[in-house]
Structure formats: structure tokens, C-alpha cells
Structure 1
Amino acid sequence: MLTSLAIRNVVLIEALDLGFAAGLGVLTGETGAGKSILLDSLGLVLGDRADTGLVRAGTDLASVTATFEFATLPDAIRTALTEAEIEIEPGEALIIKRRVRADGGSRAFINDQPVGVALLRELSRYLVELHGQHDDRGLVNARGHRALLDRYAQADTGAVTQAWQRWSRTGAELEQARALVAAARADEELLTAHLAELTKLEPVVGEEAELAAQRADMQKGERLSADLVALQVLWEGSDSALAGMRSAARRLDRIATEHPLLAEALAALDRAVIEAGEAEDLLGAAMDALTHDPLLLDRIETRLFELRAAARKHACAADDLPAKMLDMRAALDAIVGGDADIARLERASHDAALDYQAKAEALSVLRAEAARRLDTAVAAELAPLKLDAARFRTAVVRLPDDRWGPNGVDAIEFLISTNPGSAFAPLGKIASGGELSRFILALKVALAEQGGAATVIFDEIDRGVGGAVASAIGERLHRLAGGGQLLAVTHSPQVAARGTNHFLIAKSSEGIVTRTSVALLNAAGRQEEIARMLSGAEITPEARAQADRLLEQA
């Protein structure tokens, strides 16, 4: 629930710190005192548009900080925070801050971490439910009616959701299997021909690179053949340079002992003969490696052309051709085994559909029964709220098949008729501001503990009524606040007297400076404020006595 609200430089509020408790809190004050400023300030932390007109004149920055505390953090809030990567410890308060600059722009923070305004709007559904003259969310929004009715009916919607997911999953698998078989059949003849071509080709991974390397070596041999032959002539035969070196070495060997220098010359010549011999061997090996075989080169080039042509045809690399063959075989196999698989999936989808429909039908019956009970409960609340001629109906409408979903087969909406004989219509379409607030109050009382936001605010729900109707409103607000926190902006002394906490909103002026202040009233202050609400500008003893009676009755 909302435990504190700190406002700085918002319109007429310079600095204000408010603390709130559980139960019914009432806010009163003269018209124009600034009650709307409080609601606008709270709206900022709930993600409303950051209007620069809210920034107090003469200042650059307005800020609002709201603190919410929970015995146990609701799962929906925890999930939203986790998705936003915001960690909150058990028992830790949720602190939302919004800053608005006079020159435009705003920033939002949750527990000092910057966040987007969209997250504030998402959390607002679980934090504060506001009902007033221009209510556009909460119970007026038909999108939430189904969940409210399901909670009222204590329905297990999870089973329907799971059945829908199972049906959707099997249906998707069935459609995928059908598409695969249909595509395979359409291309069966072409697939067979392509597979036959590749089977005949027998591509191997890495073959293209190996053939390309062999071809490159043979092409090199073709270019170098003339040089290699010329070199071979220099090294081979009795007249070759190497033969001459060997003959010289033999002659020198016979006279090398005659002088040390001859021995050294022989050693050098022997080394040269050895190096030349190694060169001859290497030259021979190179000639073997680079031998140009025209027939082999032709075969290699033909194979490379076939591999690369097949790769272009199938829009892949040559090394991917074996995988293409496997895909083609799998596609052809799918035609053979596809019908059996489709039959299996059809049975599974049919069974899942029957299971979903059975669970959804049972939920629909439960909703219809709960709708009748809710209609009766709301009807009992309308007469005391001066809505005698009005009627309330919970519409449970069967959806067409193509709109069934995880929430069942029904559309749920709360409808009203404000006058005898008039047609039923959505809450927000035909009810006036005061009627709408009282309808919502009747609904909230009827729904009682069926969930909703942690804090509920009613803005001038008692507008245009008094006497017994105002008393009935006050009694219901007090009863409704017993299970949580409810704040009511009111002009009715009967409602104000029911409050657990009473805040007085006042406006004061000093020269050209106007300020709005809010004070938590004690017992004497409450008596005086309720007396003022009863009598107007001049508070009479009779008004104070009447105020005491209202407080005693509360």
C-alpha cells in the first residue's frame, strides 16, 4: 500500500510530506484548495504524461516520490521488476520517484535505478486504482473484467491456459508437418533427379581444394618444363658440369698428399660434389612432382568443372554438396513417412482440441453462474446509492472460434442501464461522473476481496448527493477499506466522518505567493472540519454538535 508521498515544487505545493496508513483516509478542503494537485502528483509516479505546467512557477524542477510497502510483494510486481533487472529484497519498500523539468523532459527512478515511464504505467495497475469523474482505467476498462469475474468465481483458469497451449503446439506441429510434406511432394520429381545427379557425382568434402592444388602444380610444371629440361642437360651426361667436378676430384685425390693446400682444395671440391649431388636429386624430384600429364590434367579440370557447376546449381559451396544430398534424401523420406506422422499429429491435435473445449466449456458455465451471483450482489448495492432505476449485468458472450484463446471462449464485460427500458451499455459510455463512481463503488463492494490494486482512490464519489445516500457511500467506503487501503477525496461530511485518517487540504496566500498545504487532523481538528462542511463559512454550535453525532455514528 501507499505509505508516503513527498512532493516538491508541484504547482502550488512548495514542499509536502504525507504519511498514509491502512484503512479509509479522507481528504477534504474547500473547492480550489488543491486536491487535484495531489492526484496529479500521484499520477506522475504512476506514469502519467509529464506536463511542464506542473512545475511550480519560479523553479526549474518538480519531483514526486511515492513509497509503497507490502507484507508480501505481489507476484505481478516482482515479475515486472525482475524483467526490468531491478532486484528488491523481501520486506524492502518500493520507492518510485519522478522528476519533471520546467524546460521539458522527465526522469523516473525505482529504488534509485533509472527506469522508463512504460514500467511505471505497468506497475500502476497493481499499485493504485483511481476512480473519479474521468475514470479511464480500473473497473471501467473492459480488459480487466474477465480476470475480476474469474477471481469472483474462484475459477481455475490455469487448466484452460495449459490446454490451449497444448492445442496450439500440436496444431503448429501438424501444420509444419503438412507444409513439409506438401513442399516435398511438389518438388519430388525434381528432388529425385537432383539426388540422382549428385549420387552419380559422389562429391566428397575437401575434394575441390585437393583437385585445385593438384591442377595448380601441374600447370606450374607445364610452364617450367623448358627450364627443367635445360637444367637436366647441365647435370646429366659425361660432359655435364657435375661429371667434370667428379673427374677433377679424382685427379686431385691422387696428388693431395703432396701439399697441404692441395688437401684443402680436395676437401672443398668434395663438399661441392656432395652439394651438387643433392641439388641433382632435388631437381629430379621437382621434375617428377611437376611432370605435366595432359590426360591427368584434363581429368582433374573436368572433375573440378562438374563439382563447381553442381555447387552453383544448388547455390552452395562444393563442400556442402554431401549435406545437400542428405537433405534431399530426408525430404524424399518425409514423403514416405510424412503421411503416418501427419496422421499421428492429427489425432494429437484433435484430442488436444477436445480437451481444451471441455475445459473452456466448464469455465464458461462457471463464469455464467458467477455472473448471475455478481449481478444480484451489485443490484443489492444500487438502491442505497440512489441508483434505484439502474440495472447491472455481467455479459458473458461466446466468442467466434477464431477468437478463442488461453483465457477461454468468452468475452466478459460489465454493462449498465441507467433508466427503465434503456439498453445496456458499457460502464463508461452512459453513466454520468457521479453515477459512474457509485456504480464502481457498488461493484467494488460486491467483488469485495477479489483482487485489484493495493491502494484504491475515489475522487469525489459523493458529488451531487447527500443525506442518506452520502451516509450509504461512507459506510461502504469504510467497509471496503477494512481489507486494505482506500483514499477518498470528498465534500460530504457523512463520508469524512467515516475516515480512519483525515487530511485537510488548504490554500493560503502571502502577497503574490499562493501555497497549498495538507495537514493530518486530530480529533478536534476533525470535528471542526466536519462542522465547516456542514455549515459553510460560519461554523455554528449546531454544526459542531452535528459533527460530533456523525463521528460517534462512524
Structure 2
Amino acid sequence: MLTRLSIRNIVLIEALDLDFAGGLGVLTGETGAGKSILLDALGLVLGNRAESALVRAGEDQASATATFEFSQLPDLLRDVLNDAEVEIEPGEPLILRRRVKADGGSKAFVNDQPVSAALLRQLAPALVELHGQHDDRGLVNPRGHRLLLDRYAGADLAKVESAWKNWRAAEDALAKARADIVQAKDDQDLLIAHLAELTRLAPEEGEEEQLALSRATMQKGEKLSGDLEELRRFWDGSDSALAQLRSAARRLDRIAEEHPLLKEALEALDGAVIQAGEAEEKLAAAGEAMVHDPLELDRMETRLFELRALARKHRCEADELPAKMREMRAALDAIEGGEADIAQLVKTAEAAHQAYRDRAEKLHKARVAAAVKLDKAVAVELAPLKLDAARFKTSVSELPEDRWGPHGIDGVEYLISTNPGADFAPLGKIASGGELSRFILALKVALAEQGGAATVIFDEIDRGVGGAVASAIGERLARLASGGQLLAVTHSPQVAARGQVHYMIAKSSTGTVTKTSVALLDEAGRQEEIARMLSGAEITSEARAQADRLLEGV
């Protein structure tokens, strides 16, 4: 709830620090004293537009700071703060501050951490609910009507939301599968042509590297053919160096036993013959590997060109072409088997749709039953508030399917008829300012236990009424405030007498300087202020006596 409001240099307020408590707090004062300034200051910290006109004349800037305290931070506030990465410790108060300069520029802070005004507006619905003469938010706004009715009905939205998500996921999967098949069929002819081209070529992994190496080897053989032929003469024929070396080894073998050195010479010569033979074999193998075959070279170059051309065509490496073939075959298989998959996905989507519809219709019935109950509860409150001829109706209507959602299939709106025989219409379009405030009060009383903002403010809800109606308003405001915090700006002594805390707003002038101040009244001050509200400018003894009776009556 709101525990403190600090204002600096806003319009007629130079410096003001107000502490608030739970229950019903009333703010009174003469017309024009500046009650609206307090609401403007509070609106500023809740993200309303920063107007330079708010800055007190002669000052460079103005500021407003609101402190809220909770036994446990509401989920909405925690989620918004977490999303904005604003840190707040458990049990720590929530402090909203807004500063506006005379040139219109403004800055916002949450617990001294800079934030945007948009973030303040996100926090506002869970902090303050304001009902005034020209309010277009709160209960007047149809956006919140469905949520309030669901709270009143005790509806379990989690199951409907879960069924909605399952249905949408099934529909998305079906749509994607259909789109994939359409795309695949569009590409089918091209896939067949590409696959036929790759199948004809039959690429293999590692083939490009092997072909490139073989081609390079053959090209080197062409260049080295003369050298290889010259070297071959050292080994070929009876007069070759190798033949003579072998002949010398045979002759030495016949005489090697005659002397140890001859035997050693033979061993060395035998080694030379063996090594020369190995060299001959390797030279022959090299010659075969590097033989220049123009037809084979042309075949390899053609094959290499085709592999690389297809790789460029499919934007991949040549070694990836076999994988491309497998992908294309899988895509063609998917086209052939896709219709069977679609049929199964259709069944899944239809089942999910029906499951959602079943849960949503159950929720619809709960809403209709709760609407009837709520209408009766509001009707009970209308007569004491001098709205005898008025009627209230909660409209629960099924939306077109394209507007269904995790909230169900219903649109919910609160409607009123202020005169007998008149058609029902939205709250904000048919009621006058005073009537609208009283309708909202009746609805708030009926919905009293269904949650809402931490602090509720009624701005002059009693305008234009008095006597028993004002007493009825005061009694209902006190009832609403019993479980939380409610602030009422009032001109009615009957309402003021119900307040647990009473603030008086006054305006004073010194020369050309006008200031607004707020005082927390004690019991004697309350009596005097309520007497003033009863009698006007001159406070009479009768007015004081009547004020005592009002205070004693509550």
C-alpha cells in the first residue's frame, strides 16, 4: 500500500511529506484548495505525462516520490521489475520517483535505479486504482472486466491456457508441414533433375583429392619422360651398369675364398647389387605411375571439372556431394510420405481444438453463472446509492474464433442502463460523472474480495449527493477499506466522518505567493473540519454538534 508521498515544487506545493496508513483515509478542503495537485503528483510517479506546467512558478524543476510497502511483492510488480532488470530486495519498500524540469524534460527512478516512464505505467495498475469524475481507466475500461469476473467466479484459467497452447502448437505444426510439402512439391521437378545429374556422376567422398593427385602425377611424368628414359639405360641391356655390376659379383664370388679381403669385397658388391636392384624396381614403378596417357589424363580432368562444377552449383564442397544426394532422396521420400503425416497432424490439431473448446465452454458456463450472481450483488447496492432506476448487466458473449485466446472464447463487459426502458451501454458512455462513480462504488463493493490495486482512490465520488446517499457512500467506502487501503477526496461530511485518517488541504496567500498545505487532523481538528463542511464559511455550534453525532455514529 501507499505509505508516503513526498512533493517538491509542484504547482502550489513547495514542500510536502504525507504519511499514509491502511484503512479509509479522507482528504477534505475547500473547493480550489489544491486536492487535485496531490492526485497530479501521484499520477506523475505512476507514469502520467510530465507537463512543464506542474513545475511551481520560479523553480527549475519539480519532483514527486511515492513509497509503497508490501508484506509480499505482488506477482505483477515482481515480473515487471524482473523483466526490466530492476533489483529490489525482499521486504524492501518500492520507491517511485519522478522529476520534471521546467522545460518539460523528465526522469524516472525505481529505488534510485533509472527507469523509463513506460515502466512506471506498467507498475501502476498493481499500485493505484483511481476512480474520478472523468476516469477512463480502472473499472471503466473493458480490458479488465473479464479478469475481474474470472476472479469473482474463482475460475481456473490455467487449464484453458494450457489447452490453448497445445492447440496453437498443433496448428502451427500442421501449418508448417503443409507449407513444407507445398514448397517440396514446387521443388520436386528440380529435385528429380538434380538427383538424376548427381546419380549419373556418382560422386564419392575423397574422389576429388585422388583425381587431383593422379592428374598432377601424370602431368609431372610428361615433363620427366626424357630423364626417366635416360636413367633406364643404366639398368636395361647386357651392357648396362647393373649388368656389369652383377657380372663382376659373379666373378668375384669364384675367387672370394682365396683371401678374406676378397670375401669382404664380395659382400659389399652384393649389397650394391641389391640396392641397385631396388632402385631399378622403384624407377620402374615411378615410370608406370607417371606414364603420360593423354586419354586417361583427359578423362581425369573431365571428371574433376564435373565434380567441381556440381559442387559450385550446390554451394558445397565436392566431398559433400554424396550427402547432398542423400538429402535430395530424403526430400523426395518426404513428399511421397507427407500426405500420411499431414493426416495425422490434422487429427492431432482437431483433438487439441476440441480439448480447448471443451475447457473454454466450461469456463464460459462458469462466467455466465458468475455474471448472474454479480448482477444481483450490484443491484442490491444501487438503491442506497440513489440509483434506483438504474440496471447493471455483465455481458458475456462468445467471440469469433479469430479472437479466441488463452483467456477463453468470451468477451466480457459491464453495461448499465440509467433510465427505465433505456438500452444497456458501456459504463463510461452513458453515466454522468456522479452516477459513474457510484456505479463503480457499487461494483467495487460487489467485487470487494476479488483483488485489485494495492491502493484505491475515489475522487469526489459523492459529488452532487447528500444525506442518506452520502451516508451510504461513506458506509461502503469504509467497508471496502477494511481489508486494505482506500483514499477518498470528498466534500461530504458523512463520508469524511467515516475516515480512519483525515487530511485537510488548505490554500494560503502571502502577498503574491500562494501555497497549498496538507495537515493531518486530530480528533478536535476532525470535528472542526466536518463542522465546516456542514455549515459553510461560519462554523456554528449546531454544526459542531452535528459533527459530533456523525463521528459518534461511525
TM range (shorter): 0.7 to 0.9
The aligned residue for residue 168 of structure 2 is 168
Counterpart of 2:10? 10
Please say if 1:453 is aligned against 2:428.
no
Distance in 1, Cα, partners of 2:423 & 2:409: 25
Q: Where in structure 2 are the equivalents of 1:13-412 lying within 5 Å?
A: 13-204=13-204, 208=208, 225=223, 294-412=294-412
Shift of 1:466: 0.9
Partners of 1:501 and 1:12 lie apart in 2 by 23
CA distance in 2, matches of 1:379, 1:501: 30
Structure 1 residues 429 and 187, CA gap change in structure 2 (3 angstroms): same
TM-score normalised per structure 1: 0.85
The CA distance in 2 between the partners of 1:289 and 1:105, in whole Å, is 85
Deviation at 1:210, TM superposition (A): 6.5
Query: What is the deviation of 1:56?
Result: 1.4
Q: 1:318 to 1:505 in 2, by over 3 A?
A: farther
1:268 corresponding residue in structure 2: none
Q: Which amino acid aligns with 1:37?
A: I
In structure 2, the CA distance between the partners of 1:306 and 1:502, relative to structure 1 (3 Å rule), is same
Shift of 1:102: 1.4
How far apart, in 1, do the equivalents of 2:134 and 2:290 lie?
Answer: 93
Distance 2:120 2:290 in 1: 77
Q: Structure 2: how far apart are the matches of 1:31 and 1:291?
A: 114
2:203–2:322 contact (8 Å) kept in structure 1: yes
Q: Superposition RMSD on alpha carbons, in Å? A: 2.8
Deviation per CA, 1:325-352: give whole Å up to 9, x if none.
2321221221343233222222222221
Amino acid aligned to 2:472: A
Distance 2:210 2:63 in 1: 73
| 1:504 alignment partner, SS class | strand
3-state SS of the aligned residue for 1:3?
strand
Aligned residue for 1:146, secondary structure, equals helix
Partner of 1:435: 435
Is the partner of 1:9 in helix, strand or coil?
strand
Aligned in 2, Cα 1:210/1:495: closer, same or farther, shift over 3 Å? farther
C-alpha change, 1:291 and 1:85, in structure 2 (3 Å) is: farther
Structure 1 residue identity aligned to 2:467: G
CA distance in 1, matches of 2:211, 2:385: 94
Amino acid corresponding to residue 91 of structure 2 in structure 1:
G
Q: AA paired with 2:110? A: I
Aligned amino acid, residue 510 of structure 2: E
Letter of the aligned partner of 2:33 in structure 1?
A
- CA distance in 2 between counterparts of 1:220 and 1:464 reads 110
Deviations 1:454-513, CA, capped at 9 Å, x for gaps: 100001111111111111111100000011000111111111111010111111122222
Cα deviation code 1:115-153 (max 9, x no counterpart)? 111111111011100100121111111011000001101
Q: Any stretches of 5+ residues in structure 1 without a counterpart? A: 238-242, 244-280
- Counterpart amino acid of residue 95 in structure 1: I
Q: What CA distance in whole angstroms lies between the structure 2 residues aligned with 1:506 and 1:459?
A: 17
- Give the superposition deviation at 1:204: 4.5
Change (3 A) 1:303 1:383: same
Residues in 1 aligned to 2:337 and 2:446: alpha-carbon distance in whole angstroms:
59
Structure 2 spans left out of the alignment, 5+ residues: 235-240, 242-279
Which region of structure 1 is more displaced relative to structure 2, 176-185 or 421-430?
Answer: 176-185
Q: Deviations over 1:151-186 (max 9, x none)?
A: 101111111111111111112112222222333344
Q: CA deviation at 1:357?
A: 1.0
1:503 equivalent to 2:508? Answer no
Deviations 1:199-235 (A, max 9, x none): 332335565566567767877887xx49x9699989x
Paired positions, count: 510
Provide closer, same or farther for how the CA distance between residues 175 and 528 of structure 1 changes in structure 2, counting only shifts above 3 A. Answer: same
Letter in 2 for 1:477: L
Question: Structure 1: which amino acid aligns with 2:113?
Answer: Q
Counterpart position of 1:524: 524
CA distance in 1, matches of 2:210, 2:466: 98
User: Which position in structure 1 is the counterpart of 2:424?
Assistant: 424
**TM-score (norm: length of structure 2):** 0.85
> Measured at CA, do residues 214 and 84 of structure 1 come closer, stay the same or move farther in structure 2, by a change above 3 Å?
farther
Q: Which secondary structure state, in structure 2, belongs to the residue aligned with residue 187 of structure 1? A: helix
